[in-house]
Amino acid sequence: HACGSIVMAALASVFRGITGSRAVQGVLRHAPQRQLHLHEAYSMELLKKHGVRTPRMGIAHTPAEAATVAENLGGEQWAVKAQVLAGGRGKGHFENGFKGGVHVVKGAEQVETIAQNMIGHKLITKQTGHIGRPCNMVLIVEKMNIIKEYYFAILMDRASQGPVIVASSQGGMDIEAVAKDDPSAILKEPIDIKKGLSQEQAEALAVKLGFSPQSSEQAAQEMLKLYSFFLKYDCTMVEINPFVQDAFGHAVVLDAKVNFDDNAIARQPEVASHRDYSQENPLDVVALKNDLNYIGLDGNIGCLVNGAGLAMATMDIIQLHGGKPANFLDIGGGATAKQVTEAFKIITSDPRVSCILVNIFGGIMRCDVIAEGIIHATKQLDLKVPVVVRLQGTRKIEAKALIASSQLDIISADELDLAAKRAVQVSRIVQLAREAGLTVSFKDLITTDASVESELTPEL
């Protein structure tokens, strides 16, 4: 199953809104989660429940359970598939040296042995990086007699402003390679979101793909079920690779990757119940639970900003002055002091961070609320990293007064350019101090900004 497929390339335009920032390009530590992903096993269960034809299968959380599942399924051969949210499982390897996340074996004893090498170990693939992801369960699938393999996917497409089917007669392989080597092998069928996928469309596509005359109608029925599933469960992508024709002429979904719209998760409790947080970056999970938009980067200057556009501009200007942002973190327009504290926890959990730049434009957001959050977070976390703060907008005078009276290592600046310069300079000083085993304080810089003094004096 090619997780990193042409479908993901088509979805890349959704992500370009964030990666358009120069500072972000090429330095992402991990991709942001714009969709909710489920393990293949749970996706297949949902598909089966929806009436889609799937092979007989079972989930196992222990090696012994895997052998029992195989025996209960019957037959002589089974596929043992590591359940890890990453593509390239078959070509991956485990941290214990075991090769491959997908194996076809004979006998329940072999199933147990394979499962023992998978469960409880991290699988490393081209998509996980060297850290890998934990395999906590395996999927046992009956081996089928396959006549032909196809590729079939439904996804949301900006170009056609609605769902589109992407399909190919060359399934069961890396679809990206197929698209590169033989673009004519990729079929695209836009779907009118108001009319839906028609029987005629589905049958015509089945014929184009090469399903036999006796199987094309049945294949079309499965396509219609998949489109119905796509709508019912608020999917952003349903990718079937391979979509096969078996020896009996049936069209069968043999492997599935399904992404769900996380904005609609409130009305999909069954989907939400299968979410596996062990497969996600821990910082992403913390950010999600606190309604923060976070993406980890490879720099050393932490960023806390309200608004995605302002966040990208902040990262770019840091880069312009020779620094490197450590993250994208948007606290939104209605953040509370608690959210600010959680944001600081996320940023400072990265040991490389040597300075934090806070850039807030108070429109809906009040600057004094942010200031209170910054002060509270600095005290509660006993923050050892200097903070540069640029506040503009609603109640900024009160906010600066709070910061000035806090006597903490919080450096104020009115202009973003000055704030970014200071953040870069402070970051370099802290890095040098760390290398020398020293600590450094920047309290003397708090009132060096003449504009800050002039604005604060009347209020104080």
DSSP string, 305-330: ESSHHHHHHHHHHHHHTT--B-EEEE
CA angle 46, 50, 53 (to 5 degrees): 90
Copy the structure tokens of residue 175: 């679809």
| Token pair belonging to 183 | 């673009």
Question: Which pLDDT value is given to residue 257?
Answer: 92
Contact present, 229 and 47 (Cβ < 8 Å): yes
> CA geometry: angle at 287 spanning 282 and 290, to 5°?
130
d(CA 329, CA 177): 35
Q: Are 207 and 245 in contact (CB under 8 A)?
A: no
Could you give the CA distance from residue 334 to residue 316 in angstroms, rounded to a whole number? 24
The answer to whether residue 239 is catalytic is yes
Q: How far, in Å, CA of 7 to CA of 166, rounded? A: 8
Cβ–Cβ < 8 Å for 154, 139 = no
Task: Please state, in angstroms and as integers, the Cα–Cα distance from residue 170 to each residue in 49, 127, 166, 264, 295, following that order.
Answer: 27, 22, 12, 33, 35
The pTM is what?
0.72
Beta carbons within 10 angstroms of residue 339's beta carbon = 19
Q: How far is CA 276 from CA 68, 134, 138, 208, 292, in A?
A: 24, 11, 14, 38, 19
Strand-pair partners of 57: 141
Catalytic residue among 239, 294, 342, 372: 239
pLDDT score for 443: 63
Per-residue pLDDT of the chain (460 residues; tens, 9 = 90+): 434 444 444 333 333 333 444 444 444 444 444 468 899 999 999 999 999 999 999 999 999 999 999 999 998 899 999 999 988 899 999 999 999 999 999 999 999 999 999 999 999 998 888 889 999 999 999 999 999 999 999 999 888 889 999 999 998 878 888 888 888 889 999 999 999 999 999 999 999 999 988 889 999 999 999 999 999 999 999 999 999 999 998 999 999 999 999 889 889 999 989 988 888 878 888 888 888 889 888 899 999 998 889 999 999 999 999 999 999 999 887 777 788 889 999 999 999 999 999 999 887 778 888 888 889 888 888 888 999 999 998 888 998 899 888 888 788 898 999 999 999 999 999 999 999 888 877 765 544 444 433 333 333 3
At 442 the pLDDT is 72
Q: Say whether 342 is catalytic.
A: no
pLDDT of amino acid 373: 87
Q: Where are the beta strands (DSSP E) in 322-431?
A: 327-330, 355-362, 387-393, 410-412
Q: Residue 183: is the preceding peptide bond cis (ω within 30°)?
A: no
CB atoms < 10 A from the CB of 455, how many? Answer: 16
Task: Give me the pLDDT at residue 284, please.
Answer: 81
- Convert 270-303 to b/e letters by CB count within 10 Å (16 or more is b): ebeebbbeebbbebbebbbebebbbbbbebbbbb
Q: Which two tokens stand for residue 121?
A: 């170990």
DSSP 128: T
- Active-site entry in 40, 45, 65, 151: 151
pLDDT of residue 452: 39
Secondary structure E strands in 9-145: 35-37, 57-60, 77-82, 93-94, 102-106, 121-124, 133-135, 138-142
Residues in the chain: 460
- The pLDDT, as a whole number, for residue 6 is 40
